[in-house]
Chain A
């Protein structure tokens, strides 16, 4: 079933176009990451997870970090 674009999403796309926000592919990877981060902040945080713990994960390319989110009982 095809339906019309959700009005809230239509409005967001229209605002982005009117503001002249470029496509993700219009700049550098750093630009794209910055745009994604800006959008993430603008959307706000979700429901609080409870606890957040930074972990170190060993990989063949060296250690990477990981964030463990858990709901508090």
Chain B
């Protein structure tokens, strides 16, 4: 907020396992549609709308960008080390899945709480498997080098680009999942915050 100048709406969506899939997605969809319709009343002007999230929030952000694309015009999407798939056997899972904060076991646990296994291939959980990503808003995809989610985030950015979506990939070396929250202590994280803020300003400035 301080660096981008953007207003930020944080919807308190329902959490799994008390409210399993698709409860959080429905809340996120409805909140986004509501924000689009009400932004002039809330802000005092009908400014551009961007969806953003980190980790599981990045998953929800890009999924809702697709599922409500006929109802909402988004100026951009910011996906910070997003969950984009349910394949826990990628190179980054193999390389970093045991001991760097977020582990393979953690992700399996999160997914099990979020949705029954028969839903894991659903593109509303695994957006990397969506057949049609065309028409989505321009994206910034933030990747952390030492993150089990690195490869699926990179793959998703490539899929978006192949579908004609403008994508900026920001890959930060030497950092782990969740690093951007360390912006007060880690220079790389502070730089990432500044980079994302610049992208937000660019999205807002693009007609």
Query: A25-B109, A47-B2 given as contacts; is B186 within 8 A of A6 (CB)?
Result: yes
Query: Scoring B residues 175 to 206 as 1 if CB is less than 8 Å from chain A, else 0, what string do you get?
Result: 11001011111101000000000000000000
- How far, in angstroms, from A44 to B175 measured CA to CA in the complex? 19
Query: Which of chain B's residues has its CB closest to A39's CB?
Result: B181
Q: Which residues B129-184 have CB closer than 8 A to chain A?
A: 145-146, 173-176, 179, 181-184
Closest CB of chain B to A15's CB: distance in Å?
A: 12
Q: Which residues A28-73 have CB closer than 8 A to chain B?
A: 29, 33, 39-40, 43-44, 46-50, 55, 57-61, 64-71
Q: Are A2 and B105 in contact (CB under 8 A)?
A: no
Closest CB of chain A to B48's CB: distance in Å?
A: 15
- How far, in angstroms, from A37 to B68 measured CA to CA in the complex? 31
Query: A69-B7, A70-B7 given as contacts; is B27 within 8 A of A46 (CB)?
Result: no
Is B116 interfacial (CB 8 A cutoff)?
no
Chain A residues, CB < 8 A from B184: 43-44, 46
The residue from A2, A24, A69 contacting B10, defined by CB atoms under 8 A apart: A69
Q: Which residues B46-65 have CB closer than 8 A to chain A?
A: none
Chain B residues, CB < 8 A from A69: 1, 7-10
Query: A6-B186, A23-B103, A44-B184 given as contacts; is B26 within 8 A of A59 (CB)?
Result: yes
Given contacts A9-B186, A57-B35, A64-B12, 20 further A-B contacts (CB under 8 A): A8-B185, A9-B182, A12-B182, A25-B106, A25-B109, A29-B16, A39-B181, A49-B1, A49-B2, A58-B34, A59-B31, A60-B30, A66-B11, A66-B12, A69-B7, A69-B8, A69-B10, A70-B8, A71-B2, A71-B5
